[in-house]
Amino acid sequence: MRGEDDIDLPTFDDVAAAHERIRPYIHRTPILTSETFDRMTGAKLFFKCENFQKAGAFKARGASNAVFSLSDEQAAKGVATHSSGNHGLSLSYAAGRRGIPCKVVMPRTAPEPKKAAVRGYGGEVIECEPSTSSREAVFAEVVASSGAEFVHPYNDPRVIAGQGTCSKEMIEDLGELDAVIAPIGGGGMVSGCCLTLSTLSPSTKIYAAEPQAADDAYQSFKSGEIVAYDAPVTIADGLKVPLKERTWHFVRTYVEDVLLADEDEIVDAMRLTWERMKIVMEPSCAVPLATILKNKHLFAGKRVGVVVTGGNVDLDKLPWMK
C-alpha cells in the first residue's frame, strides 16, 4: 500500500503471507513467565523469547521473508546489508538456506561473536567505522560493485512484515494483551508490532523501550520529526541506529510512548533476567524490562507482552564482568 507520505508500507495481509512463507525457516518461539518479575512489577509479564529464534534473534523473521520473497533472477546476485550484528547474521542465515551469497557491512566495534556468526552462516563481513555515515558510505560501495539486492535492516516492507509475525504469534498464543513492549533502535520490531496489533488487538497499547544514551526515537517521538544520531554510545549495541521513514510512520501513528532506561538500569535488568529466568539475552533485550521496572505504574495489574529480541552475546565480555 501507499502511506500518507507516499511510501510503500506493508499491510497485515503481508504479515500473514510472510508467516506462511517463513514457517519452514523459523522457530515458533516460546513464551515464558516469571513469578519473580510479576511480583516486582505488579504486572503479569509474558516474555516472547526470540533469543531462542534461528540465528539467535527475531531478525531471522524479516530476513527470511525478504530473501524468500526474491525472484530467482534477483536472488542470483545475492543480498547485502549493513548491520551491527543480528540482522547481518540473520540475513546470512536466510541466504544460506536459499543458497545465495550475502555481504554484510558491520562496524569494526561490533561484537566478535556476531561477526563470527555472519561468517559461520556463509556471509562475508566488510568492516566500517562505528557511525551511521560510515556504515552507509561503505555499504553503497559494496552494492555498486556487487549488484546485490539491498535488504535494509528495518526500513524495508518485507522486513517489517516478517517482524510482525512475532506479535502475531503472541496474540494467537495469549489472546488480547493490555500492552506490548519491545526495544527500539531503527524500529523494525516495533513497527511489526504496530502493524499486527492494530489489526488483531487494536486496544493493546504499544510501548517502545530505548537506551537513554541513544534516545533518538524518544526525541523523534516528542518532537514530531525524525531525530538521528550518528554514533551514540550505549551497551545496547543493537539499538544505536535511527528511525527511517517507514518505521517512523508506525511509531508516530501507533506507539503509546517511548520509555528510557540508563546504562546501569539496562545492565541490572539483564543480569536479573539471567539470574531469575536462566535465559541468555543481550543488553538490547533488557531495555524493556528495565523500563517496566522504572515505570511500574504504567503496567501494574496489566497483561503485558515483552519481546526478548535476541541472545547473541560475547560471553567473555559480559557487562557485569570487571
Condensed to tens digits (0 to 9), the pLDDT of residues 5-15 reads 578 999 999 99
Residue 5 has a pLDDT of: 52
Does 85 lie in the same domain as 26? no
Map residue 87 onto helix, strand or coil. helix
* Residue 224 included in any domain: yes
221's CB contacts (< 8 A; 6+ apart) are 208, 251, 252, 255, 257, 258
Does 173 lie in the same domain as 33? yes
Does 215 lie in the same domain as 103? no
Condensed to tens digits (0 to 9), the pLDDT of residues 146-173 reads 899 999 999 999 999 999 999 999 999 9
Condensed to tens digits (0 to 9), the pLDDT of residues 250-269 reads 999 999 999 999 999 999 99
* Residue 178 included in any domain: yes
Residue 322 has a pLDDT of: 64
pTM of the model: 0.94
Does 78 lie in the same domain as 16? no
Does 276 lie in the same domain as 251? yes
Q: How many domains does the chain have?
A: 2
Residue 64 CA to residue 162 CA, distance in Å, equals: 8
* Residue 3 included in any domain: no
**By residue range, what is the domain housing residue 86?**
60-150
Residue 2 has a pLDDT of: 44
Does 252 lie in the same domain as 128? no
Pick the closest to residue 257 from 286, 228, 297, 200 (CA basis).
297
Does 176 lie in the same domain as 124? no
Q: Which has more confidence, 175 or 320?
A: 175
Does 40 lie in the same domain as 68? no
Residue 93 CA to residue 97 CA, distance in Å, equals: 6
Give the end of a domain, one of 97, 121, 150.
Answer: 150
Pick the closest to residue 130 from 177, 94, 82, 178 (CA basis).
82
Pick the closest to residue 18 from 58, 78, 76 (CA basis).
58
Burial 283-308 (b: 16+ CB within 10 A, else e): bbbbbbbbbbbebeebbeebbbbbbb
Give the end of a domain, one of 150, 183, 199.
Answer: 150
Give the end of a domain, one of 150, 167, 191.
Answer: 150
Does 170 lie in the same domain as 127? no
Q: Report percent pLDDT > 90 for the chain.
A: 85
Residue 239 · residue 211 · CB < 8 Å = yes
Pick the closest to residue 197 from 224, 175, 217 (CA basis).
175
Condensed to tens digits (0 to 9), the pLDDT of residues 101-123 reads 999 999 998 888 889 999 999 99
Residue where the block lists cell 535465559: 279
Residue 29 CA to residue 189 CA, distance in Å, equals: 15
